[in-house]
Chain A
């Protein structure tokens, strides 16, 4: 397996999560034209049935570590399981999603294996068997290209930065079980409580379209028109830091360095100037549209389309126009 790219797949509600399918697509493209293979490992409880799905999304083979102790993420338990996987498979590369699991487990695994890790990559290419990973830094102002010299090369990859392959259920691949063999005596961390945030509508990080608004709205009541536009677009609603600091929107809506990092296909920024703090959270978006009355606002520099206008005059008509375009 010394030439395998190992994708750490994640399962939710009995199915492979979108980021894992994206990773498999990204791994396939990295392996193209080389003798490298793509493997997927699934950790959890009752996840064996998902192995075929990983193969359908591009894995040559799948490994399953199925253990009741892996039902919920616990860093100590998952680290033990991943160490076993790494030892047994000795992959050339291990890719995680930049998820709750990936951002916690990937660095831990890397330090334990005395290798390097590159976090939150948005672009990946292969040069002579080494991963060249591009990642935003300095609050999205700059991009760094990093490589790991040691093996395995470990990286986490930002959601929506890689395109998944078309699901092909006719693809065949071997599924192998790996025994987690968790030593409970060595588990020091205990998870005592878990609370979900019950966000209404579409989750920010999963949304294909995000409509965000800033302090320029003037008050929390003016978010009504933003929500209407989001509704017409099937979008999630985000907000700038200032808006959340003022308590107009919950902190969970904040897009930016100290909030959510989103990379939707379409990001509509309304009355947002585009401070570095905010851009750090949305610069990975494929298309940014800015609506701002200040023609010199920084947000226009990062945008594909822009309207220079007071938001209050243009958002309602835009909602209606979107409804017409979608209807027609």
Chain B
């Protein structure tokens, strides 16, 4: 079985909100100096899901695929250290500022070019834009089923079985391979690579493909071909300052808060 896991590197957003900055003119998040990008956490869970399948069937091949700048190589190397077999970096100036349709187009085209892929695993959403559509998009463009937001991923006799997280419960769905699955944090913590694995992964070659390697060009990946536009990006400011409720005793503070809530018709 050949599994491809999509891994994205994102700006570290879990920083003190005071150091989170947006360049509104460029419509981009600006990372503070010295803060390195991180692996999108749901994608690491995707790697973990693939490694659990490989634990069960050691002849499984796991390829880590990342689209992004040269630094995305770090995310691939980390996943290789977790036990994945091969790394593929999709990098090209044309891959910058894509919308989700274009992202899914690039990733699905790479899956087609790879050798006989049975299973694509993605995080349920990337923690930068939190859109949560890339996995489904890859599936649609490949014509495969998508089993989304999984907490458990199994393969039995050529059928993928995924336990999905619903807002009010769980459901088990299955579909014959090839499929795309997206995974959620309920699957469990991703394994941490051992030093020896990190050193081994550092020596592994990562394949690099450009847009031309995938047969894609500006007619599909240019600004004009976007289906979605980003009109604005900003940091929301709360409309009002927090009113600190005072009182001589905790009881008085509590009473004053209850009165405020009542006056504001919130209770």
Q: A-side interface residues toward B, CB under 8 Å?
A: 74-76, 99-100, 103-104, 107-108, 110-112, 114-120, 132, 135-139, 141-150, 188-197, 199, 203, 205, 209, 233, 251, 257-258, 260, 265-266, 275-277, 279-280, 283, 287, 289-290, 295, 298, 300-310, 313-315, 317-318, 320-322, 324-326
Q: Which residues of B contact A314 (CB under 8 A)?
A: 250, 253-254
A120 touches B130 (CB 8 A): yes
Q: CB < 8 Å: which of B130, B139, B168, B176 contacts A199?
A: B168
**Which label, helix, strand, loop or mixed, suits the secondary structure of the A interface?**
mixed
Residue on A nearest B182 in the bound complex, by CB: A104
Q: B-side interface residues toward A, CB under 8 Å?
A: 11, 13-17, 20, 22, 29, 41, 99-101, 104, 127-133, 136-137, 139-141, 145-149, 161, 166-176, 184-186, 226-236, 238, 240, 242-245, 250-251, 253-255, 257-262, 264, 266-267
Q: Can you list 12 A-B contacts with CB-CB less than 8 angstroms, sorted by A residue number? A: A107-B136, A116-B100, A119-B133, A142-B235, A190-B175, A197-B169, A276-B15, A300-B242, A304-B242, A306-B245, A307-B244, A308-B244
Q: Which residues of A contact B259 (CB under 8 A)?
A: 321, 325
B242 touches A137 (CB 8 A): no
Smallest Cβ distance from A252 to chain B, in angstroms?
A: 9
Q: Which residues of B contact A326 (CB under 8 A)?
A: 262, 267
Q: Which residues of A contact B262 (CB under 8 A)?
A: 325-326
B242 touches A303 (CB 8 A): yes
With contacts A104-B146, A194-B172 known, what are 10 further pairs, Cβ within 8 A? A100-B167, A100-B168, A107-B100, A108-B140, A116-B227, A120-B132, A138-B130, A144-B232, A321-B254, A326-B267
A289 touches B169 (CB 8 A): no
**Which label, helix, strand, loop or mixed, suits the secondary structure of the B interface?**
mixed
In the complex, the 10 A-B pairs of residues with the closest C-beta atoms, listed nearest first: A321-B258, A116-B227, A111-B140, A317-B254, A107-B133, A313-B250, A116-B228, A318-B254, A145-B232, A193-B172
Query: For the complex, what is the distance from the CA of A266 to the CA of B261, rounded to whole Å?
Result: 9
B230 touches A145 (CB 8 A): yes
Query: For the complex, what is the distance from the CA of A191 to the CA of B29, rounded to whole Å?
Result: 40
Smallest Cβ distance from B98 to chain A, in angstroms?
A: 12
A321 touches B255 (CB 8 A): yes
Residue on B nearest A259 in the bound complex, by CB: B185
A76 touches B145 (CB 8 A): yes
Query: For the complex, what is the distance from the CA of A112 to the CA of B146, rounded to whole Å?
Result: 13
B243 touches A306 (CB 8 A): yes
Residue on A nearest B163 in the bound complex, by CB: A193
Residue on A nearest B239 in the bound complex, by CB: A304
Q: Given the interface contacts A108-B140, A305-B245, A306-B242, does A189 sit within 8 Å of B174 by beta carbon?
A: yes
Q: Which residues of A contact B230 (CB under 8 A)?
A: 144-146
Smallest Cβ distance from A114 to chain B, in angstroms?
A: 8
Q: Given the interface contacts A139-B127, A196-B168, A205-B167, does A304 sit within 8 Å of B258 by beta carbon?
A: no
B173 touches A189 (CB 8 A): yes
Query: For the complex, what is the distance from the CA of A290 to the CA of B174, rounded to whole Å?
Result: 44
